[in-house]
Each structure stands twice: as C-alpha cells, then as structure tokens.
C-alpha cells in the first residue's frame, strides 16, 4: 500500500542556480538549459504548493491515486480512500510541516506560474516568468509588501533571501523587462514593515555584530 511516508514534496530551488541565471543574463548570455532547469524546478515547487495548500485547507490528494479526500483539520481523523490507501490527517500534515510549502496569500501567484510556464516559448518569455514570480510578494500593507513569495520557492531564510534578491546581477544586456521588475521590487521593499525593522535593527547593531549577520547564510 502506498504510504504517506512516500510523499516527497519538491524542494525549494537552490540559490546558486538562480544567482548563476542572473549573472549570465546580465552579460547577455542565454543558457537555455539553465533557464529550463530553474523554470521546471519552480514549476515542480509550485505544483507541490498547490497540492499542499489544497490539502492544508481540507482537500488532501490521496498519496496513491491522487483522489481528493476531504478532512476537517482534526489530526486524528482517518483519511481513507476508495483505492484502499489510508492515513491520518496528522501523518499527512507531518509530510509538509515546516517546509514553507503552504501557499498562503501568494497562492494565486504560484497557480498563475503553473499556467504560464507551459505557454512560454522563448528564453525571454521564460526568464520573465521566473523573474516575475521570484519578485512577487504576498499581501500589501502600509504601502509596502508582505512576505516575499521567494520564501516558498528558494532555499534560505527570509532575511537571507531579501539580501540574495538584492545581490542578483543586472546589466545593460539583461533580458528586457527584468530591471523594471527589480525597480518595482526595490520600491515595494522600502515601504515594507520587515524592511523598516531590518533597517532599524542594523542601525542599532554594533559593527562586529553586523559582520556576523552578513556572513550568516
């Protein structure tokens, strides 16, 4: 019997892959293989987010046959499927707990990527689709952004990811459109409460402590 232990959710995308994609793009080098590698890894991750988000809110896909089994969030409730597979919601929940895979308010953006990626044809289409998603954020408040969608997509802590996105390479040869996305991102992050908190924390921090923060993954 297919067991819940066999469920493997697609992992978040490695930072070095995306860093390399932007470094090459800034030089005008089109590495279609790398673009596809990143795009399909993001697609797999978005599909995992879709499945987990549905499960989280009451509609779990059977680990064996993918049929939808409804539940009410009770951890001891048994999810039994017509195919014979059976598990508890608690066990199912453990397969994704702490893995940043519940979509939350950015869920429509991940779903939009699942629609958009298969329709991309040129390397530019693909680059723009990737670029838009990793610079998306869920929710807006006080004129700034909520939590970055990148937290669900790319390995790292939120603080590390903000820095990672800030450090991506751009140049005159970058794909047309990506620098506009970057400018919007910069404008949005300046007003975000987490960005303000970070700036205040940095100001208050001693130089030695600041260096420690810089070297942290």
CA 40 to the chain's CA centroid: 13
Cα–Cα distance measured from residue 65 to residue 37, given in angstroms and rounded to the nearest whole number: 27
If we measure between CA atoms, which residue out of 115, 157, 158 comes closest to residue 133? Answer: 115
173 binds Zn ion (CB under 5 A): no
Residue 83 or 158 having the CB closest to Zn ion: 83
**For tokens 């308010």, what's the residue?**
105
68 contributes a contact to Zn ion by CB under 5 A: no
User: How many angstroms separate the CA atoms of 178 and 175, rounded?
Assistant: 6
86 binds Zn ion (CB under 5 A): no
| Rg of the chain in Å (alpha carbons) | 20
Cα separation, 79 vs 62, in Å, equals 8
As measured in angstroms, the least distance from the Cβ of 8 to Zn ion is 17
Candidate segments 11-19, 50-58, 80-88, 155-163, binder of Zn ion by CB under 5 A: 80-88
Q: Which of 5, 6, 67, 139 binds Zn ion (CB under 5 A)?
A: 67
Which region among 22-30, 56-64, 167-175, 180-188 touches Zn ion (by CB under 5 A)? 56-64
When binding is defined by CB under 5 A, the residue of 34, 83, 169, 196 that contacts Zn ion is 83
- Contacting Zn ion (CB under 5 A), which of 65, 78, 187, 209? 65
Contacting positions for Zn ion (CB under 5 A): 62, 64-65, 67, 81, 83, 85
């Amino acid at each position: 019997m297919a067991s819940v232990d066999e469920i493997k959710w697609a992992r978040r995308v490695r930072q070095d892959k995306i860093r390399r994609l932007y470094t090459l793009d800034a030089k005008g080098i089109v590495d279609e293989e790398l673009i596809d590698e990143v795009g399909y890894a993001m697609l797999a991750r978005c599909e995992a987010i879709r499945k987990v988000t549905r499960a989280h809110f009451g509609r779990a896909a059977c680990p064996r046959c993918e049929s939808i089994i409804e539940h009410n969030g009770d951890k001891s409730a048994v999810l039994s499927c017509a195919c014979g597979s059976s598990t508890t919601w608690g066990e199912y929940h453990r397969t994704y707990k702490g893995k940043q895979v519940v979509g939350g308010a950015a869920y429509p953006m991940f779903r939009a990527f699942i629609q958009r990626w298969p329709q991309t044809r040129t390397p530019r289409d693909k680059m723009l689709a990737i670029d838009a998603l990793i610079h998306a954020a869920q929710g807006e408040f006080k004129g700034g952004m909520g939590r970055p969608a990148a937290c669900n997509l790319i390995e790292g802590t939120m603080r590390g990811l903000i820095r990672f996105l800030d450090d991506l390479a751009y140049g005159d040869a970058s794909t047309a459109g990506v620098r506009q996305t970057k400018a919007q991102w910069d404008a949005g992050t300046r007003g975000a409460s987490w960005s303000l908190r970070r700036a205040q924390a940095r100001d208050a921090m001693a130089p030695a402590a600041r260096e420690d923060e810089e070297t942290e993954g």
